[in-house]
Amino acid sequence: MTDILGEERSEMIDPSRFRKVLGHYPTGVCAITAVDPEGNIAGMAVGSFTSVSLNPPLVAFLPDRSSTSWPKIERAGKFCVNVLSAKQLDVCRRLASKAENKFEGLDYYLSKNGSPIIKDVVAWIDCDLERVDEAGDHYIVLGAVRDLQIESGSGSLLFSHGEYGGFSPLSTCSI
């Protein structure tokens, strides 16, 4: 088998082992939201969000290529990253589902850029779609940040070791 650079790889990595090992690295959980050109609201939960650059301000997330929500968000050409709070596991599960109307009964308002901001999120980052690259079974989506705000400032929802939780700082630790 060849790797991403086209070089031969002598050993295959078992996908379940890969997932188990990387599952020990905690990730924040975000909701990516958008309104497509037909006016339909789309959303998905991701644990693959990261900042990329301060100048210019860029962020990225990695949707699965089999996602049915991602094409709707891509068509919008813009999106909002909603950093979910530790109290929003229900929102995460709703947006990760295959439900027809994921936003029914969900409180949100629209950003200046026209993307949904979910009520009571920790923070939000409103973006224009900058670029999409293929990366194995995922895409790498780059967003140009247009606006951002701390909303509730409460603790973020985290995913680690196959479970959801929050963050508790170590009061005796100093860096």
pLDDT tens for residues 62-83?
999 999 999 999 999 999 999 9
Distance from the first to the final alpha carbon of the chain: 43
Q: Which residues pair with 53 in a beta bridge?
A: 58
| Amino acid found at 86 | A
pLDDT tens for residues 135-167?
999 999 999 999 999 998 789 998 888 888 887
Reported pTM: 0.86
DSSP-assigned states of every residue in 76-87: HTEEEEEE-BTT
Strands (E), 38-175: 41-46, 50-53, 58-61, 78-83, 108-110, 116-118, 123-135, 138-150, 158-160, 163-165
pLDDT tens for residues 113-135?
999 999 999 999 999 999 999 99
How confident is the model over 89-113, as a mean pLDDT?
94
More confident call, 175 vs 84: 84
Q: In angstroms, rounded to a whole number, what is the distance separating the alpha carbons of residues 129 and 88?
A: 25
